[in-house]
Amino acid sequence: MQILLDPRPAPVGNSCQWFWKGQEQSPRRPIDITKLLSHACDDIYHQGPSVRNELVVRRKLSAAASSARRCVLERMLNNSTEECLGIEGYPAERSVYESVLKTTGIHYFDQNAGHWRLQAPPVDNPTDLWPSWEFMEKEVFSDPIHRVELADLFDKLVDVPFGLPDGIHPILFTAFYLVFQDELFLYRENSFIPDIQIVHLELLQRRPDLFSISGARLTGTRKAVVERLAIGLQQPAKTASVVRALFRILKSLPPVTLKSTKHLHSEAIQMRDCLLIAHSPEELIFVDLPKCFGISPFMQNEERAEDMELFFDRLNSALFALQNHAEDLQKSSSNLLLNKCGLSGGDLGWKELERRTAWLATRVNHEVLTPFLNCVINGIRGEQSTRAALSLVANRPFEQWTDLDLERFPGLADGIGGIFEQTWHNYGDSGSILTEKELKQKNQLRMKLEPQLSMMRKQNSSKALVAALREMLNEIEKGID
């Protein structure tokens, strides 16, 4: 190779001709070839940086260089507000820091904040890292929102016109992520990473092909949407934070709300399903949720105040419907069951059911009805209200109900309600709450009737006596208001 590149005549060189941009060059010595190649590289990689560091400005790093780079990455995560990232003395990582972060202007002292911080490399910095940084911004933040494979991004940085050495990629990317962390979303094998840790960066150094990134600028309506969501959800005004809060709401919903389509309007169902299948926080907020409500996606730098108001009206309505679905479904199912039992709906109706249940439980032993009576009583004792009884009727815990259970419930309630109503008709009391005067009358009547009934029991069959008394009671009950 050395002889091939030597412009001198044979046998020292090969007397080859050299051309650059269509013009013949006249190198006479090997050093002239070196200068020509250097000039060609400068011209081809005209946006390449001038970072000088023997440890990381290379394609493959030694074990010592990799260790130094890892230390720098960890300190960038944890000590970005400290001078020299908190590095003491002059270990290998200090050299990497000075060359790649401090000299380039990426890590600087903010006079206003009173501490050190990371920023984009200044445009006029002689190391010329700005073009590479600007390219990353354009790739990641371009509309529509999309994911960029990190391996592809790094390949483009290596290629013309940047020629950014592989060893610098993780450091520059980490700085880029930390500067724009409120607007960037990192994924590992399509799984969102809400809080980046050193373990992620360690893997990223070795396997960038496992990672992808997307970005959404918080400008115009996008910024207003995130800020308003943050206030309502009591979160920092960051896209990832408000999305996590929405997911917490989703996870707090009972399975009956997550599985059912009954008693939910279409927008609430679409929003729920959108959250269930969401893989991208930024697309969820700015693209998917607006589409659920018939609104076009929120793009960068747009000002759409009317659409934003419409978005929040429908979002709040859908959230309210989802959060109250189980309670509303429980009320409607309870009222249906009460009606099937011959009672009016609402709290008063259920209290009357509890009263009648307590009366019948000690007097009736029925294969189907007794478990129902016990569930109503257990609901009183366990403060579970109506859910225990509803679960028994449907033969499935209320929280686990599906659309099929909701379709079957009216028929099942009709069956148990019919048995309950007939049993109460046969064995129940008058259902009235007696006044003090009526209590005295009741006691007097009992004293008068007991001797007569005792005599009748001796002279007649007990079954016949009970049947006769029941018929008479039914006639009397018909006259009770």
Domain hosting residue 378, numbered range:
332-427
DSSP collapsed to 3 states, the chain: CHHHHCCCCCCCCCCCCEEECCEEECCCCHHHHHHHHHHHHHHHCCCCCCCCCCCCCCCCCCHHHHHHHHHHHHHHHHCCCCHHHHCCCCCHHHHHHHHHHHCCCCEEEECCCCEEEECCCCCCCCCCCHHHHHHHHHHHHCCCCCCEEHHHHHHHHHCCCCCCCHHHHHHHHHHHHHHCCCCEEEEECCEEECCCCHHHHHHHHHCHHHEEEEECCCCHHHHHHHHHHHHHHCCCCCHHHHHHHHHHHHHHCCHHHHHCCCCCCHHHHHHHHHHHHCCCHHHHHHHHHHHHCCCCCCCCCCCCHHHHHHHHHHHHHHHHHHHHHHHHHHHHHHHHHHHHCCCCCHHHHHHHHHHHHHHHHCCCCCCCHHHHHHHHHHHHHCCCCCHHHHHHHHCCCHHHCCHHHHHHHHHHHHHHHHHHHHHHHHHCCCCCCCCHHHHHHHHHHHHHHHHHHHHHHHHCCHHHHHHHHHHHHHHHHHCCC
Residues 394 and 448 in one domain: no
Answer yes or no: is 377 within a domain: yes
Q: For residues 232-243, b (16+ Cβ closer than 10 Å) or e, as one string?
A: ebebeebbbbbb
CA distance 423 to 9: 119
- Is 144 exposed, middle or buried, given 0-12, 13-18 or 19+ CB atoms closer than 10 A? exposed
Residues 387 and 444 in one domain: no
Answer yes or no: is 366 within a domain: yes
Residues 421 and 339 in one domain: yes
Q: What is the pTM of this model?
A: 0.65
**What is the pLDDT of the chain when averaged over all its residues?**
89
Residues 470 and 422 in one domain: no
Q: Looking at this protein, which amino acid is placed at residue 200?
A: H
Residues 337 and 422 in one domain: yes
**Distance from the first to the final alpha carbon of the chain:** 114
Residue in the block written with tokens 């927008």: 267
Answer yes or no: is 128 within a domain: no
Answer yes or no: is 102 within a domain: yes
Residues 353 and 403 in one domain: yes
Confidence of residue 247 (pLDDT cuts 50, 70, 90): confident
Q: How does pLDDT run across 182-197, given as a tens digit for each residue? A: 889 999 998 888 789 9
Q: How does pLDDT run across 208-241, given as a tens digit for each residue? A: 999 999 988 888 999 999 999 999 999 888 888 8
Q: Which has the higher per-residue pLDDT, 371 or 263?
A: 371
CA distance 240 to 238: 6
**pLDDT above 90 (res 478):** no
* pLDDT for the residue 378: 82
Q: Report the share of the chain in percent with pLDDT over 90.
A: 55
* pLDDT for the residue 315: 95
Q: Domain boundary residue among 118, 138, 154?
A: 118
Q: Domain boundary residue among 387, 402, 427?
A: 427
Residues 447 and 367 in one domain: no
Q: Which has the higher per-residue pLDDT, 316 or 352?
A: 316
* pLDDT for the residue 1: 55
Confidence of residue 44 (pLDDT cuts 50, 70, 90): confident
Residues 399 and 474 in one domain: no
Residues 467 and 416 in one domain: no
CA dist 354 → 1, 205, 263, 393, 420 (Å): 98, 67, 27, 16, 12
CA distance 33 to 152: 33
Q: What residues does 184 pair with on adjacent strands?
A: 215
Q: Domain boundary residue among 405, 427, 449?
A: 427
Inter-axis angle of helices 220-233 and 239-252, nearest 10 = 40
Residues 461 and 423 in one domain: no
Other CB atoms within 10 A of residue 280 CB: 20
Residues 415 and 452 in one domain: no
* pLDDT for the residue 427: 78
Answer yes or no: is 418 within a domain: yes
Encoded tokens for 447: 């004293």
- Is there a contact between 247 and 284 (Cβ–Cβ < 8 Å)? no
The total of structural domains in the chain comes to 3
User: What is the Cβ-side half-sphere exposure of residue 321, based on CA atoms within 13 angstroms?
Assistant: 20
Answer yes or no: is 10 within a domain: no
**pLDDT above 60 (res 382):** no
Confidence of residue 380 (pLDDT cuts 50, 70, 90): low
Q: How does pLDDT run across 405-451, given as a tens digit for each residue? A: 999 999 999 999 999 998 888 877 654 556 788 888 888 888 888 88
Answer yes or no: is 192 within a domain: no
CA distance 109 to 121: 13
Residues 423 and 443 in one domain: no
User: What is the Cβ-side half-sphere exposure of residue 449, based on CA atoms within 13 angstroms?
Assistant: 7
**pLDDT above 80 (res 2):** no
Answer yes or no: is 171 within a domain: no
Encoded tokens for 413: 């309630």
